[in-house]
Amino acid sequence: SQQGEEDPQALSIQEGENATMNCSYKTSINNLQWYRQNSGRGLVHLILIRSNEREKHSGRLRVTLDTSKKSSSLLITASRAADTASYFCATDEETGAQKLVFGQGTRLTINP
Amino acid sequence: GAVVSQHPSRVICKSGTSVKIECRSLDFQATTMFWYRQFPKQSLMLMATSNEGSKATYEQGVEKDKFLINHASLTLSTLTVTSAHPEDSSFYICSARDQLMGPLHFGNGTRLTVT
C-alpha cells in the first residue's frame, strides 16, 4: 500500500528558481529516500536521509526530515531545464521487510 | 556504481500469451529483488519481493498465479505475466539493493502492451 503523500502533485517554475516538494508518511521509518524519474524510464536514487538525521545536502539538493511530523521536503536550488522529471519520496519502514513504499510523486516542469 | 539491467524494454503481445521480463544485477549479488508496476502518471506499486532460492512474497491483491516470479540465481529474477490481458498493459520496473537498507537501483523498466 502507498503511504507517502506528496505535495504538490505538479509544479511548474522558471529556470533558476528553487523548487520545493513535500512528502508525508504514516509509519515509523529507518530512512526516507528521494528518487527521480524521467518519462518512461526507471528511477534514479537522489538522496537518502536516515531517521536520526534532520537535514542532508547533495549538490543542489537539500532534504529535510521531521520525524515528529512524519514529513520530509526536497529542495532543488537554481533549477535547470534538465531537472524536469517526476520526483518520488520512498520510505524504508521499520518492519524489516526491506521494501520501499513510494509516494504519489511530484511532476516538476522547469520552463526555460 | 550498482547497475540493474531489465529486458526487454518494450514488448507487445496478444491476449492470452505469456511474457517474460528479466531483471539482472550486473555488478552485485542481489538476494532480494523488487518488482513494481506503474500506471501512467502514477506512482510505483510494489507487486512482489523476489527472494533468491525461495518463493516470492506477493503484495495484497497481486495474483501470484498471474505474475510468476522466479529468482533462480543471485543476479537474475524473472517476472512472467501469464495469459496476458489488455488490463495487464503497464510499465513494469524491477529494482535491487547492493547494501542492506541502502538505496534501490532500478532497471529501465518494461513497457508491456497487450492487444
pLDDT in tens, A7-24: 899 999 999 999 999 999
Strand, coil or helix: A43? strand
Q: Do A43 and B32 touch (CB under 8 A)?
A: no
Read off the pLDDT of each residue in B81-85 and give the average, rounded to a whole number: 97
Residues 80-99 of B with CB under 8 A from A: 91, 93, 95, 97
Read off the pLDDT of each residue in A77-98 and give the average, rounded to a whole number: 89
| CA–CA–CA angle B1, A55, B30 (5° rounding) | 30
- In which band, very low, low, confident or very high, does the pLDDT at A99 lie, cut at 50, 70 and 90? confident
pLDDT in tens, B14-52: 999 999 999 999 999 998 999 999 988 889 999 999 989
Which of B25, B41, B8 minimizes the C-alpha distance to B104?
A: B25
Q: Are B84 and B59 a contacting pair, CB within 8 Å?
A: no
Q: Are B14 and B115 a contacting pair, CB within 8 Å?
A: yes
pLDDT at A3 over 60: no
pLDDT in tens, A49-74: 999 999 999 999 999 999 999 999 99
pLDDT in tens, A35-48: 999 988 999 999 99
Q: Do A2 and B43 touch (CB under 8 A)?
A: yes
Amino acid making up residue A30: N
Question: CA nearest A45 in B: which residue?
Answer: B103
Strands B4-7 and A19-24: unpaired
Nearest by CB: A42 against B42, B60, B107: B107
Read off the pLDDT of each residue in B68-72 and give the average, rounded to a whole number: 92
Using CA atoms, how far apart are residues B71 and B60, in angstroms rounded to an integer?
Answer: 20
pLDDT at A1 over 90: no
Under DSSP, the state recorded for B53 is: T
> For residue B27, what pLDDT is reported?
92
Q: Do A41 and B109 touch (CB under 8 A)?
A: yes
Q: Do A98 and B49 touch (CB under 8 A)?
A: yes
